[in-house]
Structure 1
Amino acid sequence: MTTERQVSSFDTDHFLATRTVFSLAELREAMGRRSPSAVRTWLKFHGSRGRLKPLERGLYAALRPGADPEKVHADPYLVAAALRPDGVFAYHSALTLLGAGHSDWNVVTVLSHCRRRPLALSTARVDVLPHPAALLRGGATELGVRPVPYLETTLRVTGPERTVVDGFRQLRLVGGLEELLTSAAGFPSLDFKQLEAVLRAYDLRMLDAAVGWFLETYREHFFVPDDFLKHLEQRRPVAPQYLPRRARTERDRGRLVPRWNLILPEDALRGAEPDESPAEQRGRDLKRADDRPPSPVYALAGASRRSSARAHGAAVSEPGRRSRNAPQVVVIGGPNGAGKTSSAPCLLRDTVGIDAFVNVDVIAEGLSGFAPQASAIEAGRILLARLRELAERRADFAFESTLSGRALQRFLRQLTDAGYQSHIFYFWLPSADLAVRRVRRRVEAGGHDVPEPVIRLRFGKSLVNFDRLYRPSATAWRLYDGGVIGHQRLIAYGKRGEGPTGVDAELWAAVRSQIEEASR
């Protein structure tokens, strides 16, 4: 019979307090010279006391005293790190850990020298893949890898430059071309020397062309030197290449971009350059009118100015009052756990009279009711298609976003150029801790999970982006206190070019203080 005395000499409380997930090898190392039987005794004793939850043979999650094992969901990134200590997080997992991931995904991908079968967890799946063969041959598996702090540990993650190149190389592992573009456009900067080193390690003309096209598209955002673009252009493929490759078998084969010798889907080519003026975009759209049909969203500036089917009220004088002829788009913004989904329907009907609320979580649940996170990427594609359809019809619609990335700014500006009135309703939370607690409660109730470090990373970015990017460019905006779900209090509201109105001085000061802290 196992007794507490047999295991009391090991500092169990410290070990479990500093490791949310651990492997048998890690336990053995921490216990020092103790025999294998002593290690087994420790596992048996604390397992029987409800302090451990087995995840896999030789892999355990530490539980707080009194915790229900069924309600404890091990962090998939910590599980992957314990499973493969030599692992490098890559593809969509890297986008997420770097704070640029557009969609929440339930697959964690780690590269390792020791491949293994996927590990299914309650809220995610861990895929362990081999390092790319080209990097293995060149001894460059550590190229572009950086440390990223994550909870009680530090993870090794492919940096922005390597992640962009790897993403174009394996589009399915980043959720497709659209997900990669939307996410990677959120990186604040890129190191072109590092980018060149990664491209040379792979030595694939298709990757040179794909990265060149991406940088040309976002050249103003990333301050891309013309010489670097010309350098990549010289290494483009000799013959046209499809991106993604599966486009070869599809009916819509896309359109050739001569400079890069790439054949790309129309949707990827319909965006204006981020700093291109509306007049320049309209001229470009007219020039292409004979070659392709108008785009549902990205060529809205050249679309016909049909009136919305909905009867509108008077011209906008404050948020919530509508222009007679202008269609409306509303973004429900806020950090994870702010109550966007639960509060949006009533709020939209009461303020702007909009019923078309497109919710990616509802779409994902419809695709996979028992595991909605498994359909997150597909749900994101459906969401974008639905938004394009509504915009093409010049209908009023609303959708939600954390606003933690910059890509949405481009989308909203294109709608504004097309005659839309844009509104931002932002739900503020007083702390990231509250956001984490709410997401945990949502998971316990069967909802989708977001890793705690990702919640905290998005939390500050969301508020800063609302204040500096989205609020100044919106036709009108409203800021709500989301501290109590169902009882949102209006903190302030305003219009483009004007200061805030109806300010709750105490809460507004708290918001400004939080913005300053997040900006440091």
Structure 2
Amino acid sequence: MQSRQHKTASFLSAHPVFTRAEFAAAFGHPASAANVTSLLRHHLRAGNIKRVSREVFAAVPAHMAAERMVIDRFAAASKLRPDGVLGFHSALELHGIAYSEFNEVQLISAGRTERVDLPFGACRFVTPAKALAATGKANYLTATMDRQGVTVRVTAVERTVVDVLHRPELAGGGEEVLKSLDLVRYLDPAKVADYVELLDNRSLASVSGWWLEKRRAALGVSDDVLARLRTRLPRSKHYALGAEPGHAVLVEPWRVLLPAQAVDAAFEGV
């Protein structure tokens, strides 16, 4: 008994957030075993762990009441699905380039698209771009980070920039995206172009090219990168970043219609 208690304490110390399968494996049991259910129930009643979702749990630090514990939302969300990658506004936050903080976490996963409320807040599941799924590159331009001892996967800055320009509604809207991207101090412009080419989305080439040209001096964007994106422009102008008819400014070289504030000097990132 003492040995199992010691093993449990060691596991919980090393796994601030864990799945049922990880817990079962540590004790040499199949994940579906009844004794795993019994053990988890025991530790839930004892206040040693806190349930995050049906299959995910958080370890409660010694001498702390479970109800007072604050679960790291990014660490917890990363465990919800095996293929989960933190993206969009969550990625902006993790890279330190978010203008505002959100309560919602966005997790990219091939599973069902949904928004669920969990003990750490809301989590929105977003399916990866079709081009990534089709080519088996769901983890393209991703990186790992440590969150309180938990390794989480997050979209790299270059992919995050393109993703939030493409779907600003998943990052707080156009204004939040623009203000956040003004905080970008380093990225590889060529990787932005690589990702846009992989997605094969002409409207994305348009808005990404506009943004890179706007930040050209600060980010060291070469003529070659801009030229690559210009070859992929759509044939006709289109709306981006939440722009609406009658309230949009056309940026002719990039064939993109943007909200007025997007092309205002206040958003030039100087």
- TM-score norm. by structure 2 comes to 0.90
- 2:101 aligns to what SS in structure 1? coil
- Whether 2:16 is the aligned partner of 1:31: answer no
Preserved contact between residue 190 and residue 225 of structure 2 (Cα < 8 Å)? no
In the other structure, the counterpart of 1:63 is 60
In the other structure, the counterpart of 1:201 is 198
- 2:178 aligns to what SS in structure 1? helix
TM-fit CA distance, 1:66: 3.5
- Whether 2:144 is the aligned partner of 1:144: answer no
Question: Do the aligned partners of residues 273 and 58 (structure 1) sit closer, same or farther apart at CA in structure 2, a change above 3 Å counting?
Answer: closer
Please, which of 95, 105, 130 is the counterpart of residue 108 of structure 1?
105
In the other structure, the counterpart of 1:222 is 219
Please, which of 137, 151, 170 is the counterpart of residue 173 of structure 1?
170
Question: Do the aligned partners of residues 273 and 45 (structure 1) sit closer, same or farther apart at CA in structure 2, a change above 3 Å counting?
Answer: closer
Question: Do the aligned partners of residues 255 and 50 (structure 1) sit closer, same or farther apart at CA in structure 2, a change above 3 Å counting?
Answer: same
For residues 160-309 of structure 1, what are the structure 2 equivalents within 5 Å? Answer: 160-245=157-242, 247-248=244-245, 252-271=246-265
Preserved contact between residue 23 and residue 60 of structure 1 (Cα < 8 Å)? yes
CA deviation map 1:352-382 (0-9, x unaligned): xxxxxxxxxxxxxxxxxxxxxxxxxxxxxxx
Q: Which structure is larger by alpha-carbon Rg, 1 or 2? A: 1
Mean Cα deviation higher: 233-242 or 209-218: 233-242
Letter of the 2:191 partner, please give it.
Q
CA deviation map 1:295-335 (0-9, x unaligned): xxxxxxxxxxxxxxxxxxxxxxxxxxxxxxxxxxxxxxxxx
Q: 2:67 and 2:264 mapped to 1: Cα distance?
A: 47
Q: 2:266 and 2:222 mapped to 1: Cα distance?
A: 19
TM-fit CA distance, 1:186: 1.9
In the other structure, the counterpart of 2:10 is 14
Preserved contact between residue 146 and residue 157 of structure 1 (Cα < 8 Å)? yes
- 1:64 aligns to what SS in structure 2? coil
Q: 2:209 and 2:230 mapped to 1: Cα distance?
A: 7
Preserved contact between residue 218 and residue 273 of structure 1 (Cα < 8 Å)? no
Letter of the 1:19 partner, please give it.
H
Which stretches of structure 1, 4 residues or more, deviate above 4 A after TM superposition?
none
- TM-score norm. by structure 1 comes to 0.49
TM-fit CA distance, 1:228: 2.2
Instruction: List alignment gaps of at least 5 residues for structure 2.
Output: none
Q: 2:267 and 2:150 mapped to 1: Cα distance?
A: 39
Q: 1:142 and 1:64 mapped to 2: Cα distance?
A: 33
In the other structure, the counterpart of 1:157 is 154
TM-fit CA distance, 1:136: 0.8
TM-fit CA distance, 1:123: 4.6
Question: Do the aligned partners of residues 16 and 60 (structure 1) sit closer, same or farther apart at CA in structure 2, a change above 3 Å counting?
Answer: same
Preserved contact between residue 206 and residue 255 of structure 2 (Cα < 8 Å)? yes
Give the CA RMSD over aligned residues. 2.2
Preserved contact between residue 87 and residue 112 of structure 1 (Cα < 8 Å)? yes
Letter of the 1:195 partner, please give it.
V
Preserved contact between residue 56 and residue 79 of structure 2 (Cα < 8 Å)? yes
Q: 2:142 and 2:29 mapped to 1: Cα distance?
A: 34
TM-fit CA distance, 1:116: 5.9
Q: 2:260 and 2:54 mapped to 1: Cα distance?
A: 48
Q: 2:159 and 2:187 mapped to 1: Cα distance?
A: 10
Instruction: List alignment gaps of at least 5 residues for structure 1.
Output: 275-406, 411-520
Letter of the 2:22 partner, please give it.
E
TM-fit CA distance, 1:170: 0.9
TM-fit CA distance, 1:6: 9.1
Higher RCO (CA-CA < 8 Å; seq separation 6+): 2
Letter of the 1:55 partner, please give it.
V
Question: Do the aligned partners of residues 134 and 243 (structure 1) sit closer, same or farther apart at CA in structure 2, a change above 3 Å counting?
Answer: same
Q: 2:29 and 2:264 mapped to 1: Cα distance?
A: 64
TM-fit CA distance, 1:85: 2.9
- 1:118 aligns to what SS in structure 2? strand
Letter of the 1:54 partner, please give it.
R
Preserved contact between residue 7 and residue 41 of structure 1 (Cα < 8 Å)? no
TM-fit CA distance, 1:272: 6.4
